[in-house]
Chain A
Amino acid sequence: MITLLDICLPTTVFVLSSILTIPAVKTIRNVRHRGNLLKLCWFSAVFSSAAAAVANLTLKYYSQQAIDPYVSLPMAGGSSAIFSSAFLVDAVSIYMAIIFMAVSAVTFMFSLFYIDSGEEFSERYYAVMLMVTGCVIGTVFAGDLLTMFIFWEATAAGSSFLVLYNKTPRSLHATLKYLIMIIIASAFIIYGLSVIYALTGTLNFWAAKRALMTLQDKGLLELAFAFMAAGYSIEAAAVPFHMWLPDAYAAAPSSSSAFLSALVDQGSYYVLLRVLIYILSPPTVLPWQLIFAVMSALTMIVGNLLALTERNVKRLVAYLCIVDVGYNLVAITTVTPLGIMGNLYFFLVGGISTAAAFMAVGILNRMGFKTLDEFFGVGRKAPLTSLALVLTIFSFIGVPSLAGFMAKYIVFTSAIEANLSWLAVIGVLTSVIQAAYLLKIVNTMYGKKPVEESKIKEPKRLLIPVFILVATLIVFGLYPAPILNLINPVIEQLTFIP
Chain B
Amino acid sequence: MPNTLLSTLLLPALTIPLVYILGKKSPKAAAALIAMMCICDAALLSTTVPVIINGKGHIYVESYQWVPALRSSFTLFIDGISFLMAIVTLILMLAAAIFSIDYMHEKKGLAEYYALLTLLSIGLVGVFLTSNLLLFYFCWELMLLPAYFIIGGWGYREPYRAAFKFFIFTHAGAVFVLLGIGAIFMVTGDLDMFHARSALMMANPELVKWILISLTAGFAVKMAAVPVHMWLPDAHSEAPAPMSALLSGVIISAGAYAILRISLGTVFPAVMATDFASQFLHGLTIFGIMSAFFGSLIALVETDIKRIIAYSSIAHMGYVLFGLSLFPFQEATIGTVLHLVNHAVSKGLLFLTAGAVMKRLEIRDVREMGGLAGQMSTTAVSSTIAALSIAGVPPFACFMSEFLIFVGAFRTVKIDGFYTIPVAVMLIATVFSLAYSLRFLSHVFFGASKHDKVADVPLLMKLSMVFLAVLVVAFGVWPSLLIQFINVTFV
Contact = CB atoms under 8 A, between A and B. Distances in A.
Interface of A: 341, 394, 397-401, 405-406, 409-410, 412-413, 416-417, 421, 424-425, 428-429, 431-432, 435-436, 439-440, 443, 446-448, 479-481, 484-485, 487-488
Contacts of A435: 167-168, 171-172
Contacts of B185: 413, 417
Of A409, A431, A488, which is in contact with the most chain B CB atoms at under 10 Å from its CB?
A409
A485 B69 contact: yes
A436 B134 CA distance: 24
- The interface centre, meaning the residue of A409, A416, A435 with most chain B CB atoms within 10 A of its CB, is A416
Contacts of B141: 399-401, 405
Interface stretch (B157-165, B260-268, B358-366, B409-417): B157-165
A409 B182 contact: yes
Contacts of B160: 443, 446-448
A428 B175 contact: yes
A29 B211 CA distance: 64
Contact of A429 (B137, B168, B175, B183): B175
B145 interface: yes
A479 B66 contact: yes
Contacts of A341: 69
B176 interface: yes
B144 interface: yes
A470 to B, nearest CB: 15
B138 A416 contact: no
Contact of A401 (B142, B164, B182, B183): B142
B164 A432 contact: no
Given A405-B141, A424-B182, A439-B167, 8 more contacts: A399-B144, A401-B141, A425-B179, A432-B168, A448-B160, A481-B68, A484-B69, A485-B69
B186 interface: yes
Contact of A416 (B164, B175, B186): B186
Interface in B112-140: 134, 137-138, 140
A417 B207 CA distance: 12
Contacts of B70: 410, 484
14 contacts: A341-B69, A399-B145, A400-B137, A409-B134, A416-B179, A416-B182, A431-B175, A432-B168, A432-B171, A439-B164, A443-B161, A447-B158, A447-B159, A479-B66
B69 A481 contact: yes
A400 B179 contact: no
A401 B179 contact: no
Contacts of B152: 443, 446-447
Contacts of B164: 439-440, 443
* Residue among A413, A424, A429, A432 having the largest count of chain B Cβ atoms under 10 Å: A413
Contacts of B134: 409
**Residue from A341, A424, A485 whose CB has the most chain B CB atoms within 10 Å:** A424
A94 B337 CA distance: 52
B66 A481 contact: yes
Given A409-B182, A416-B183, A484-B67, A401 B138 contact: yes
Contacts, number: 91
B178 interface: yes
A446 B67 contact: no
A7 to B, nearest CB: 28
B176 to A, nearest CB: 7
Contacts of B140: 400
B269 interface: no
B153 interface: yes
Contacts of B176: 428
**What 4 A-B pairs have minimum CB-CB distances, sorted nearest first?**
A447-B160, A484-B69, A413-B182, A428-B175
Given A428-B175, A435-B167, A443-B164, A480 B67 contact: yes
B141 to A, nearest CB: 5
Nearest to A345: B69
B167 A481 contact: no
B186 to A, nearest CB: 4
A409 B145 contact: no
Contacts of B158: 447
A475 to B, nearest CB: 13
A417 B168 CA distance: 27
B69 A428 contact: no
Nearest to A415: B182
A413 B159 CA distance: 35
Of A398, A431, A443, A484, most B-chain CB atoms within 10 Å:
A443
A397 B171 contact: yes
A113 to B, nearest CB: 28
Contacts of A401: 138, 141-142
Contacts of A412: 178-179, 182
Contacts of B182: 409, 412-413, 416, 424
Interface string B25-67: 0000000000000000000000000000000000000000111
Contacts of B159: 447
A59 to B, nearest CB: 23
Contacts of B175: 398, 428-429, 431-432
A83 B349 CA distance: 79
A166 B120 CA distance: 45
A409 B178 contact: yes
A397 B152 CA distance: 18
Given A413-B185, A416-B183, A443-B160, A400 B69 contact: no
Contacts of A406: 67
B431 to A, nearest CB: 39
B175 to A, nearest CB: 4
Contacts of B142: 400-401
A424 B145 contact: no
A484 B68 CA distance: 9
Nearest to A413: B182
Interface string B173-202: 001101100110110000000000000000
Contacts of A425: 179
A341 to B, nearest CB: 7
B186 A447 contact: no
Contact of A428 (B68, B167, B178): B178
